[in-house]
Amino acid sequence: MTYWPPWVSPFKGRLRLRLIKRRLKVRVVPWLVFRLLARPVKLFSELGYDLIQMFLFFKKGVYVSNISKQEQFFGPAPTPRDAITRWARSNQLIS
């Protein structure tokens, strides 16, 4: 049996299309377009560049976010070792 989350349900998709009385248009954008647009978009929109990088994550499996703004407000990000140590201490696994 295939599980469909509520937001992906094919039945609900058909139901929505009947309610709005329109056909669903699906367009496939080649990955190369995202790759080619990434650098020019970065010149005028850091958020747009980050969004394109997130889309490219689905193709190549690599996504590195620019966390410089978060570091300005919250300080440096913890290393994996720091995060695991803090978690282990909070669960009293180490002292």
95 part of a folded domain? no
**Residue 1 pLDDT:** 47
5 part of a folded domain? no
Q: How far is CA 87 from CA 40, 81, 91, in A?
A: 41, 10, 6
46 part of a folded domain? yes
49 part of a folded domain? yes
Decide: 17 and 23 in contact? Cβ < 8 Å.
yes
At CA 82, angle to CA 80 and CA 85, rounded to 5?
105
2 part of a folded domain? no
Question: Which residue range(s) make up the domain with 22?
Answer: 10-90
**Residue 10 pLDDT:** 57
Model confidence pLDDT, tens digit, residues 16-74 = 666 677 666 667 778 888 888 888 999 999 898 988 888 888 777 766 777 888 888 88
How many structural domains is the chain composed of?
1
71 part of a folded domain? yes
Whether the CA torsion 22, 30, 52, 65 is positive or negative: it is positive
61 part of a folded domain? yes
pTM of the model: 0.42
Contacts of 91 (CB under 8 A, 6+ apart): none
Determine the Cα–Cα distance for residues 34 and 49; give it in Å rounded to an integer: 10
43 part of a folded domain? yes
pLDDT at 5 over 60: no
